[in-house]
């Protein structure tokens, strides 16, 4: 088993290396960070098939959330945009700046398509993939896309906890379907019974119906206490 995991990690790194760009150090660090995170959660990278874009090089990440839901993140990298950025990126001081992300906002608004991604979860009811949008395009404009991708991977890896965060409206809605389906398809941990699934989904519905932020926080606290998590 350890050998299989090591082989997967090695293959992941080899694929990711193809999506770096000489001279674009900040982007390359993001890709390296992504590799570290994928190693930690035992995710698998594959070269894309049906998710390719005609104007981009693509790969996909397959990973399970804490719910047992299988996710696929298809990543599309436009190398021409990265190489264009390299021409003058050294003239911009991006390290240690305290400008509330304004510089990155301007930069990534212009190069928003350098690296994009689509997210899906596997629906065993029909054997197809259901689209899910966790991070919107606006968010990506204040950070290197690789950093946003790390955030997305981390969110989905711990999707049960993440779904109790205020901003995770879409994830809550999707898990109300995806979590029970994952349980019936034997994707959850062996010690998870349907009562556990039911409890979590009920809390998700309550959070969706919260009247305001204060009500949401009270319901969230109740959810953590009943599930047995520390906030």
Q: What is the pLDDT of residue 7?
A: 83
Q: What is the pLDDT of residues 199-225, one digit of tens each?
A: 999 999 999 999 999 999 999 999 999
Q: What is the pLDDT of residues 6-62, one digit of tens each?
A: 788 898 999 999 999 999 999 999 999 999 999 999 999 988 655 666 789 999 999
Q: What is the pLDDT of residue 62?
A: 96
Give the span between the Cα atoms of 200 and 206, in whole angstroms. Answer: 10
Q: Which of 143, 160, 146 is nearest to 64 (CA)?
A: 160
Q: What is the pLDDT of residues 50-109, one digit of tens each?
A: 566 678 999 999 999 999 999 999 999 999 999 999 999 999 887 655 556 788 889 999
Give the span between the Cα atoms of 184 and 171, in whole angstroms. Answer: 19
Tokens of 27: 């982007």
The CA-to-CA distance between both ends of the chain, in Å, stands at 34
Q: What is the pLDDT of residues 118-152, one digit of tens each?
A: 999 999 999 999 999 886 544 546 789 999 999 99
What is the domain partition of the chain in residue ranges? 2-227
Q: What is the pLDDT of residues 154-213, one digit of tens each?
A: 999 999 999 999 999 999 999 999 999 999 999 999 999 999 999 999 999 999 999 999
Burial tier of 43 (Cβ tally within 10 Å: 0-12, 13-18, 19+): buried
Give the span between the Cα atoms of 196 and 101, in whole angstroms. Answer: 41
Burial tier of 120 (Cβ tally within 10 Å: 0-12, 13-18, 19+): middle
């Amino acid at each position: 088993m350890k050998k299989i995991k090591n082989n997967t990690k090695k293959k992941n790194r080899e694929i990711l290396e193809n999506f770096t760009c000489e001279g674009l150090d900040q982007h390359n660090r993001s890709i390296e960070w992504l590799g570290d995170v994928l190693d930690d959660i035992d995710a698998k990278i594959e070269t894309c098939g049906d998710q390719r874009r005609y104007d981009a090089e693509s790969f996909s990440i397959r990973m399970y959330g804490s719910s047992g839901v299988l996710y696929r993140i298809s990543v599309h990298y436009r190398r021409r945009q990265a190489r264009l950025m390299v021409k003058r990126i050294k003239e911009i001081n991006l390290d240690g700046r305290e400008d509330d992300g304004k510089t990155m906002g301007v930069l990534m608004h212009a190069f928003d398509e350098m690296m994009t991604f689509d997210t899906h979860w596997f629906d065993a009811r029909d054997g197809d993939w259901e689209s899910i949008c966790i991070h919107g395009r606006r968010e990506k404009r204040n950070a290197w896309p690789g950093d946003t991708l790390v955030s997305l991977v981390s969110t989905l890896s711990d999707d049960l906890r993440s779904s109790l965060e205020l901003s995770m409206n879409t994830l809550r809605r999707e898990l109300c379907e995806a979590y029970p389906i994952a349980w019936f398809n034997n994707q959850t941990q062996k010690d998870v019974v349907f009562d556990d699934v039911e409890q979590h989904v009920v809390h998700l519905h309550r959070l969706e119906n919260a009247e305001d932020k204060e009500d949401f926080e009270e319901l969230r606290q109740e959810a953590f206490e009943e599930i047995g998590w520390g906030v």
